[in-house]
Amino acid sequence: MRFSLAVVTATAFLNGCASGSRKVADDTIAIVGVTVIDPSSTQPAIRGQTLLIAGGMIRAVGPSATVAIPAGVRRIDGRGKYAIPGLWDAHVHFMNTGVTALPLLVANGVTSVREMGGHLDSTRAWQERMRVGTLIGPRIITPGPILESPTYLERVVERSRRGDPRLALRVLPYRIGIADSASAVAAIDTLVSRRVDFVKIRTSGSPAAFLATLREARRRGLRVAAHQPGAVSIGTALDSGQTDLEHAILPALSRLSPAARDSIYQKFLDNDAWYTPTLTVSRAVMLSGDSAARAIFGADALRLDARRAYASPWLLEWWRMQVDERAGDTASTRAASNEEAWQSSLADVRRMHALGVNILAGTDAGSVLVYPGFDLHEELRLLVHDAGLQPRDALWSATIGPARFARLDSRLGTLATGKIADLVLLDADPLVDIRNTRRIFAVVQGGRLFSRNDLDRMLREVRSRAAVPSR
Ligand SMILES: [Zn+2]
């Protein structure tokens, strides 16, 4: 039962859960009478449970009548509440959101994230601050810098020179260009030595450079999450070591026969690969016009979307850059093709899920009109209401699913004895209505309890640091 500190401290990412200075006696919590939901099980949720939490871990979970609660322990009345494992957002960009996204995520029940490429020194510094308790934020697994085609990086330099000089400053410091096989091998070696959790490829140059990156990552035991590759087919990429596909699969469904589409899905199954559709950002990019995107900078922004009050100046600057980049496209061609692309994205998820492909819930937080924290709940709603997943399967994609991707499912992802105490207490049943994941009563992360009052205080603090709309 005794929790091994050595195991946890050996894993750099598990910050904040094994604080040696925390007094075990003071941090014991008993959540009594709660309904426990296990997204990995097809069994009905179990009512009347007691969760005993101490030293950052779940020490016991079972019927309230049988779990002994030591004297003097803080009790939380869990009757009428639903406990789900702490949520993950499997696609987040902290370099776009800025640091205020960290408490926003936790305030929304997101206790872990898969960061999708950023400045490794910043991420490590945040992890250290979270470990010592001076910053509240989710556990982070990170690939470090994003691997790109050199052509993309040159284009950023060029666009920045002609337009906004801040673009290059914001984009280039955490990207590595992969020109050929030799630079692929060198880059993977650097990433291994910096102990990243996986590899992220966004754009790919030559097929040789792309495949060399996959080969080397596989040889070094690293998973690879990548956008749909330009260099080779999805099937070839999945066969060659790409373990996760990010964003929509293009072209849209109607331009590819159902059989051709199915053969792509089959490659995921053959390779035990993951799919992170990021429906939230797809919808924002495919369906909302430039005017909608621009309106979020205007005086009416708060009326359009109350979440705008939490957007930091840093995030808004990035959104503006993205909107400016889109401005080159003609709105009419986008509107016509994008409804089709959106429907195609939904059809992909529906069919892949039916076939048994592992789906991960990720938002692309930081991209234009994607709100850190809040939008994980929107991603879950889209997975259920638009892509047809059962609420339990949507929860899987945001709990035990990403924990498995991260190879942390023995410690995270379900509420079981011996696991890290990351959970969200809800006021209503998310299996009845997935929108109930927003009805957060409390969050526990690494055994630390955040009451509704605590969460509201965190939200107020982020608001106070955010950019208020100009009048
Ligand atoms: Zn992304």
CA of 450 to the centre of ligand 1 (A): 29
**Integer Cα distance of 380 and 391 in angstroms:** 8
Angle (deg, nearest 10), helices 279-287 and 331-355 = 160
> Does residue 291 fall inside a structural domain?
yes
Cα–Cα distances in angstroms (integers) from residue 291 to residues 206, 331, 452, in the given order? 37, 10, 36
Length, in residues, of the chain: 471
CA of 143 to the centre of ligand 1 (A): 12
> Does residue 276 fall inside a structural domain?
yes
CA of 281 to the centre of ligand 1 (A): 9
CA of 462 to the centre of ligand 1 (A): 23
CA of 68 to the centre of ligand 1 (A): 46
CA of 434 to the centre of ligand 1 (A): 24
Which residues have a beta carbon within 5 Å of ligand 1, which is an ion?
Answer: 116, 364
Arithmetic mean of pLDDT over the chain:
90
Check pLDDT > 90 for residue 287. no
- As beta bridge partners, residue 46 has 36
Q: CB-hemisphere CA count at 13 Å for 65?
A: 1
Q: Which phi-psi region, left, alpha or beta, contains residue 144 (left: φ > 0; alpha: ψ -120 to 50)?
A: left
When pLDDT is averaged across residues 247-253 and rounded to a whole number, the result is 84
Give the pLDDT confidence score for residue 199 in this predicted structure. 98
> Does residue 124 fall inside a structural domain?
no
Q: Which residue segment(s) compose the domain that 163 sits in? A: 141-405
CA of 80 to the centre of ligand 1 (A): 37
> Does residue 357 fall inside a structural domain?
yes
Check pLDDT > 50 for residue 4. no
**Could you give the angle at the alpha carbon of 424 between the alpha carbons of 419 and 425, nearest 5°?**
120
Cα–Cα distances in angstroms (integers) from residue 326 to residues 94, 101, 282, 286, 293, in the given order? 21, 24, 14, 11, 10
Give the pLDDT confidence score for residue 8 in this predicted structure. 34
Q: What percent of the chain has pLDDT over 70?
A: 92
CA of 193 to the centre of ligand 1 (A): 24
Sequence-separated (6 or more) residues with CB below 8 Å from residue 333:
none
**Over the stretch 96-145, which tens digit does the pLDDT of each residue have?**
999 999 999 999 999 999 999 999 999 999 999 999 999 999 999 999 99
CA of 145 to the centre of ligand 1 (A): 12
3-state helix, strand, coil in the chain (%, to 5): 45, 20, 35
Asked if the peptide bond before residue 469 counts as cis, ω within 30 degrees of 0, the response is no
pLDDT level of residue 310 (50, 70, 90 thresholds) = very high
CA of 93 to the centre of ligand 1 (A): 6
**Integer Cα distance of 465 and 310 in angstroms:** 8
Sequence-separated (6 or more) residues with CB below 8 Å from residue 373:
89, 101, 104, 105, 106, 107, 108, 110, 310, 365
The DSSP call for residue 428 is: S
| Residue 265 belongs to domain with CATH number | 3.20.20.140
CA of 367 to the centre of ligand 1 (A): 7
Check pLDDT > 90 for residue 280. yes
CA of 76 to the centre of ligand 1 (A): 38
CA of 270 to the centre of ligand 1 (A): 25
> Does residue 226 fall inside a structural domain?
yes
CA of 91 to the centre of ligand 1 (A): 6
CA of 92 to the centre of ligand 1 (A): 7
Q: Is the CB of residue 27 less than 8 Å from the CB of residue 54?
A: yes
Cα–Cα distances in angstroms (integers) from residue 451 to residues 35, 37, 429, 443, 456, in the given order? 18, 20, 19, 7, 9
The DSSP call for residue 386 is: I
CA of 90 to the centre of ligand 1 (A): 10
Give the pLDDT confidence score for residue 331 in this predicted structure. 55
Give the pLDDT confidence score for residue 117 in this predicted structure. 95
pLDDT level of residue 334 (50, 70, 90 thresholds) = low
> Does residue 19 fall inside a structural domain?
no
pLDDT level of residue 294 (50, 70, 90 thresholds) = confident
CA of 343 to the centre of ligand 1 (A): 20
CA Rg, the chain, in Å? 22
CA of 363 to the centre of ligand 1 (A): 8
CA of 286 to the centre of ligand 1 (A): 15
> Does residue 394 fall inside a structural domain?
yes
Q: How many domains, the chain?
A: 1
> Does residue 13 fall inside a structural domain?
no
Give the burial string for 147-166 (b: 16+ CB within 10 Å, else e): bbbbebbeebeebbeeebee
